[in-house]
Amino acid sequence: MSDDWKLPWDGGCLCGQIRFRISAPPLLTAACHCAWCQKRSASAYSLTITVPTGGFAVTQGEPELGKGPSPNPHFFCPACKNWVFLRLDALGIVNVRSTMLDEHGWFRPFIEIFTSRKLPWATTSAVHRFETLPDPHAFGSLIEAFSREGARPA
């Protein structure tokens, strides 16, 4: 049921210069334990919500392109330097940092990736775990399962 997502969701960076809106149900939520996410987030992992490109819009400000571990563009606030989102144009998706949402208390990672790099004490409530990335063919079934079982706003 698509209306149980209580969309749209608004969010922004720490200083408020960058604002965005999500208007489509997420495809997946995740925690990433890769070394880059650990360093960039200054934490044990980063949290992300994957949404279709057409369901994401920057509504205020001009994010700046930053460097990431992949050729996919990572976007940051030019003022506070918050890492806000990552575009994967070839896949038609945007990965948004979940804690950038104004209301993010409902968020739970459905999958966690790069568990081979995770800190020994770092645990999440993710239902599915992968040592690196899931096989590309597995994403369809993960997205389908998330649409049925993924956490939703209260």
71 within domain boundaries: yes
Find all residues with CB under 8 Å of 26, minimum gap 6, and list them.
5, 49, 50, 51, 146, 150
Tens-place pLDDT, residues 10-20: 999 999 999 99
Asked whether the predicted pLDDT for residue 2 surpasses 80, the reply is: no
Contact indicator for 7, 25 with CB cutoff of 8 Å:
yes
Q: Which residue reads 């568990």 in tokens?
A: 115
What pLDDT shows up at residue 136? Answer: 87
Which of these, 133, 122, 113, 151, lies nearest to 26 by C-alpha position? Answer: 151
111 within domain boundaries: yes
Mean pLDDT value across the chain? 94
Contact indicator for 8, 59 with CB cutoff of 8 Å:
no
Q: How many domains does the chain have?
A: 1
3 within domain boundaries: no
143 within domain boundaries: yes
Which of these, 11, 44, 49, lies nearest to 30 by C-alpha position? Answer: 49
CA dihedral 88, 47, 147, 120 (to 10 degrees): 120
Span 129-145, average pLDDT: 94
Half-sphere exposure of 131 (CA within 13 A, CB side): 1
Contact indicator for 86, 94 with CB cutoff of 8 Å:
yes
What pLDDT shows up at residue 93? Answer: 96
- Domain with 68 in it: 9-149
4 within domain boundaries: no
Q: Give the helix/strand (H/E) hosting 28.
A: strand 28-32
What pLDDT shows up at residue 69? Answer: 77
Which of these, 103, 93, 115, lies nearest to 34 by C-alpha position? Answer: 115
Q: What percent of the chain has pLDDT over 90?
A: 87
Tens-place pLDDT, residues 87-102: 999 899 999 999 999 9
What pLDDT shows up at residue 67? Answer: 80
Assign residue 50 the CATH number of its domain: 3.90.1590.10
Asked whether the predicted pLDDT for residue 115 surpasses 60, the reply is: yes
128 within domain boundaries: yes
Tell me the C-alpha distance between 108 and 32, whole Å.
13
Confidence of residue 68 (pLDDT cuts 50, 70, 90): confident
32 within domain boundaries: yes
70 within domain boundaries: yes
